[in-house]
Every structure is written in C-alpha cells, then in structure tokens.
Amino acid sequence: MAYITVKESPSLRGTVQISGAKNAVLPIIAATLLAEGTSVIKGVPNLKDVQVMVELLACLGAKAELKGDSLFVDASHITSVEAPHELVNKMRASFLVMGALLSRFQRAKISLPGGCAIGSRPIDLHLKGFEALGATVNIIDEGLQSGYIEAHAEEYLQGGKVYLDFPSVGATENILMAA
C-alpha cells in the first residue's frame, strides 16, 4: 500500500473562496420576505433555481436583483401573498415562501409545489407545523397536480410544540420562518 510521510512543512496561510450552495441560499432568499427593508445575501450562485426564486419574490412585490454573487432584496412593499402556479411548479423550494408570508401577513396562498424529479416529497409536515403554530390550512385539490394551499391565522402565530413524524429539512426551515 502506498503512503506519504510528511516530516516537516511550513505553516499554511492564505484564503479560500467558498462558493454559495443552492440548498442553503434558497431558504435564505425566502426568509428575506420576513424583513421590511433591504436584505443583502452574498455568495449567491447564479443558478436557474435562484432565478426562479427571484422571479417569485418579484411576483409578490419585492424588488430583487442579483449583482454578481450578491442578491439585494427589498421586501418593504409586498403586494401579494399568492405564489403563482407557473413559478411554484418549476421548483419545490418555492414552497418555502409560505412560512415567511404566513408569519408576516397572517395569510398565504401557494400553488401545490412541483419541480421534484427524485421522488415523492410531501408537504404535509410543513402544513402540520403551521397548524401547530395556530394557522388554519386548507388544501384545494383541483386534480391532475393542480390546486393550491391556503393558510391563514386570525392573529400572529403562536409558539408551540411541533413534532415532525420524520426528519425534514425543508419543513423545519418553513416552520421556523412561520414561527
């Protein structure tokens, strides 16, 4: 078996540029809806999913612009709490705006998500978490993978115990934004 023996080496110095990760940045982009004002996210990869999320924020009334690897989002003037089917159907992560909208505006209407080619990934845990925080959730199924989910809260959502039947990163992110 081959091996390398290092007897002495100089100390290591320098910097390494770490690129942004899609699975990290998409929920962060959704979370910008929680803030009135401008959020700046650095290290954003210029990917199709990021572009879809930026389009979705624009449909909701946010001003979002990607300059280099920095994304500037001004969510001061949200005009809609409805995420359209054309965008939500392109990418599952777009469903993450529901928690933020529900928290900030006490209501949200999101098309049933699409965009997942790796198998079934239900959103029932997200909805269970929203209900545990005091939201009323209605699923309007129009068949053939169309329909939407409406959620509203009479007042601000309240903290509570949320038990997920199995681990779900996406549900946890969405529920935390709602909380």
Q: Which positions are catalytic?
A: 116
Contact 43, 69 (CB under 8 A): yes
Complete DSSP assignment for 35-71? -SSEEEEES----HHHHHHHHHHHHHT-EEEEETTEE
Q: Report phi then psi at 22, rounded to 5.
A: -55, -45
Give the pairing type, strands 107-111 and 82-83: parallel
Neighbours of 85 (CB within 10 A): 18
Q: Token pair of 60, please?
A: 């909701």
Nearest to 34 by CA among 133, 82, 105: 105
Please, what's the b/e burial string for 15-35 (b: 16 or more CB within 10 A of its CB; e: otherwise)?
A: eeeeebeeeebbbbbbbbbee
124 contacts: CB under 8 Å, gap ≥ 6: none
